[in-house]
Chains A and B, each alone.
Chain A
Amino acid sequence: MSKLTSLSEAIHQHVHNGDLVYAAGFTHLIPFAAGHEIIRQGIKELVLARATPDLIYDQMVAAGCARKVIFSYSGNPGVGSLKWLRDGMQNGSLEWEEYSHFGMISRLQAGASGLPFMPMRQTGALDLERANPLYQRVQDPYGGEDVVVVPALHPDVAIVHVQRADSEGNAHIWGILGEQREAAFAAKRVILTAEEIVDAELIRSDPNRTLIPSLVVSAVCQVPWCAHPSYTQGYYDRDNDFYLGWEEMSKDEAGVKAYLDEWVYGVRDREEYLAKLGPNTQERLKPGLRLSAPVNYGSY
């Protein structure tokens, strides 16, 4: 059964005030269009979880959507900091819960696997374990050293962007996989956004590439350029100029307001955003062709 809907309808249906949201994607496939739609709909008091909050959560915090962040690296990689998260933590207006990358994705792995917690080896660095009481230690019942454990994370809603999916939400992903799959399996509801909606037969032509099955997906939205200024492997490159520019744009309230007014509140949806972005930017970010060799699954 088709789960196709518009992104604004999917956000309206599945993201509510106070929800724990996991907008997935490690540098790659970050669903900016969904973040912008949440801002436009004025959804508040969210708990925003991501290993790397990235610009998408800095924008959502600046727009007043969040009460808390859960993260493992809160910076603008290679550029600097995420000003609104940093200031929120420094001035006490934003709650936070912090992990290392492995701790964070182990929480998702536990959630995705239906386990209560996930064990990890000790790291010797105790300060974060002491600062975050959700880090615990348990005895190895087989006589080894104690292991560090983190509890399962079950986001109310995960938002996962992919290259292509069929209308039921069976999705192909390639390139950096980050925590896309774990977030989808861990969450209670999943909004899947895709660059392209393709025939189910195309998905079935390469089943090893289907990392997210329809089974866990609540809504499917076709959103070309959903990830800009992040990227989608093979479709468009990361807009590094934007990442560099955010440092300046985000440094005060007027700068953020100007950005949000123009690029979030000032457009109806991603289609309008894309038209506004214009053909020159789109052309600049188009990668060349580099095809993989086809494989023979065999006919039986």
Chain B
Amino acid sequence: MPEAEYNATELMIINAARLLKDGDQVFVGVGIPNLACNLARRTHAPNLQMIYEAGVIGARPNRLPLSIGDPTLVSGALSVCSMFEVFSLYLQRGNIDVGFLGGAQIDQFGNINATVIGDYQHPKVRLPGSGGSMEIAAWANRCYIMTPHQKRRFPARVDFRTSAGFLAGRAEREAAGVRGGGPQAVVTNLGIMEPDETGEMILTALHPGATVEEAQANTGWALKTAAHIRVTEPPTENELRILREELDPAGIYLKGGG
């Protein structure tokens, strides 16, 4: 059987979708996390529920949402509430299983910077800021991060901690009394990093064809590797078909590189 062709974005979405469980309550953003959730719902997790920070619970979008508050999220949803309610009743109360996060920089302990490059008061590059990510990172039971594997995205330390991973290590996060479990996986185009017992992100899986050397060369800290590195299953034709034909037929996110 010939191997299916796929790009880096498709590879990340498919591997992130496989991390989701049936019945998960997922706090989701637009773009590639939305595609991962919809893919999981159409494959192994039909009872996954999508919750949007705009206050939409159980969205069933008929078209690809193009903004975080797209009206297609509302039509046919289970419930709509205010933003204060979605952040308090759902997220702060502990009713969210999974949160998706992204940012300009992700460090060795999964802390994320989405705020500023350089000094906060005198920014070199001003980024959009937290949005909901400060609370999602803290209070969702599990967090997943999807990002291309590039050295500038993975510095040893972030310039600004917009949202908490394991801080300077798992013990510090525990001492801070933050209720969620923290980042459970960073899915890149080369493989997957997961936290070890200290909370440090280590390489635990490689996608077919990727190497440890490649991952190290694109990471800003001395990347540790798991004793046994798994090779992920290549994307299946069914997964690619659902993504390309059903979810993003115009290729808005699949071809845009996320």
Contact call B123/A102, Cβ cutoff below 8 A? no
Contact mask B53-64 → A, CB, 8 Å, 1/0? 111100000000
Of B14-22, B161-169, B227-235, the segment with at least 4 beta carbons within 8 Å of chain A is B161-169
**Which of chain B's residues have a CB closer than 8 A to the CB of A126?**
161
Q: A27-B69, A78-B66, A101-B83 are in contact. Are A177 and B55 (CB under 8 A)?
A: yes
Q: Which of A92-120 contact B (CB under 8 A)?
A: 92, 98-103, 105-106, 108-109, 120
Residue of A nearest to B88 (CB): A102
Closest partner residue, chain B, to A234 (CB atom): B71
A166 to chain B minimum Cβ distance, whole angstroms, is 22
Chain B residues within an 8 Å CB radius of A103 = 134
CB < 8 Å neighbour of B120 from A121, A131, A176: A131
Task: Determine which of A78, A86, A120, A125 lies in contact with B137 in the assembled complex, contact meaning CB atoms within 8 Å.
Answer: A125
User: Is the CB of B156 closer than 8 A to any CB of chain A?
Assistant: no
A-B CB proximity, top 10 nearest: A27-B69, A75-B128, A124-B164, A73-B131, A123-B138, A100-B134, A100-B130, A124-B178, A124-B176, A102-B87
- The chain A residue sitting closest to B111, CB to CB, is A125
Cβ of B2 under 8 Å from chain A: no
Interface residues on A, range: 35 or more
Q: Is A156 an interface residue (CB 8 A)?
A: no
Name B84's contact: one of A86, A90, A98, A109 (CB within 8 Å).
A109
- Taking A28-B71, A127-B162, A231-B71 as contacts, is the C-beta distance between A178 and B134 under 8 angstroms? no
Please, how many angstroms separate the alpha-carbon atoms of A103 and B56 in the complex?
19
Our pick among B91, B125, B162, B176 for the contact of A128 (Cβ within 8 Å) is B162
- Complex Cα distance, B70 from A240, in Å, reads 10
Q: Which residues of B contact A231 (CB under 8 A)?
A: 71
A-B residue pairs in contact (CB < 8 Å), sample of 23? A28-B71, A72-B131, A73-B129, A75-B128, A100-B131, A101-B132, A102-B92, A105-B83, A120-B92, A122-B176, A124-B173, A124-B176, A127-B115, A127-B160, A128-B130, A131-B121, A176-B54, A176-B56, A176-B69, A178-B54, A179-B82, A287-B71, A290-B76
Structural contact, B84 and A78, CB atoms closer than 8 A: no
Interface membership of A279, Cβ < 8 A: no
Find chain B residues with CB under 8 A from A121 CB.
Answer: 92, 138-139, 179
Q: How far is the CA of A121 from the CA of B137 in the complex (A)?
A: 13
- Alpha-carbon gap, A243 to B69, bound state (A): 13
Smallest distance from the beta carbon of B252 to chain A beta carbons, Å? 9
Interface string of B169-209 (1 = CB under 8 A from A): 00001001111000000000000000000000000000000
Per DSSP, chain B at the interface is: loop
Measured between beta carbons, the chain B residues less than 8 angstroms from A290 are 75-76
Q: Is the pair B131, A233 in contact by a Cβ cutoff of 8 Å?
A: no
B residues engaging A (CB < 8 A)? Answer: 30-31, 53-56, 66-71, 73-76, 80-84, 87-88, 91-92, 111, 115, 120-135, 137-139, 160-164, 167, 173, 176-179
Chain B residues near A174 (CB-CB < 8 A):
80
Q: Does A200 contact B (CB under 8 A)?
A: no
Q: Which of A77, A102, A124, A179 interacts with B68 by CB under 8 Å?
A: A77
**What distance in Å separates the Cβ of B207 from its nearest Cβ neighbour in chain A?**
26
CB under 8 Å from chain B, chain A span 129-164: 131, 145
Q: Are B71 and A175 in contact (CB under 8 A)?
A: yes
Q: Which of A73-94 contact B (CB under 8 A)?
A: 73-75, 77-78, 81, 86, 89-90, 92
Tell me whether A182 and B71 are in contact (CB under 8 A). Answer: no
A78 CB contacts on chain B under 8 angstroms? 30-31, 66-68
The minimal Cβ–Cβ distance linking A195 to chain B, given in whole angstroms, is 14
- A1-59 interface (Cβ within 8 A of B): 26-28, 51-52
Within 8 A of B (CB), among A248-266: none
Chain A contacts for B76, CB-based, 8 A: 290
Q: With A175-B74, A179-B83 in contact, is A123–B128 under 8 Å at CB?
A: no
Is A237 interfacial (CB 8 A cutoff)? yes
Which B residues are in CB contact (< 8 Å) with A68? none
Q: Nearest residue in A to B29 (C-beta to C-beta)?
A: A77
Known A-B contacts A73-B130, A89-B123, A120-B92; the reply to A238 vs B162 at CB < 8 A is no
Are A233 and B71 in contact (CB-based, < 8 A)? Answer: yes
A172 within 8 A of B: no
Q: Within 8 Å of chain B (Cβ to Cβ): is A228?
A: no
Cα A121 to Cα B127 with chains together (Å):
25
Report yes or no: B129 in contact with A74, Cβ–Cβ below 8 A. yes
**Minimum CB distance partner of A88 in chain B:** B126
CB distance from A185 to the nearest CB of B (A): 11
Q: Which of A52, A178, A233 contacts B55, CB < 8 Å?
A: A178
**In the complex, what distance in Å separates the CA atom of A263 from the CA atom of B160?**
39
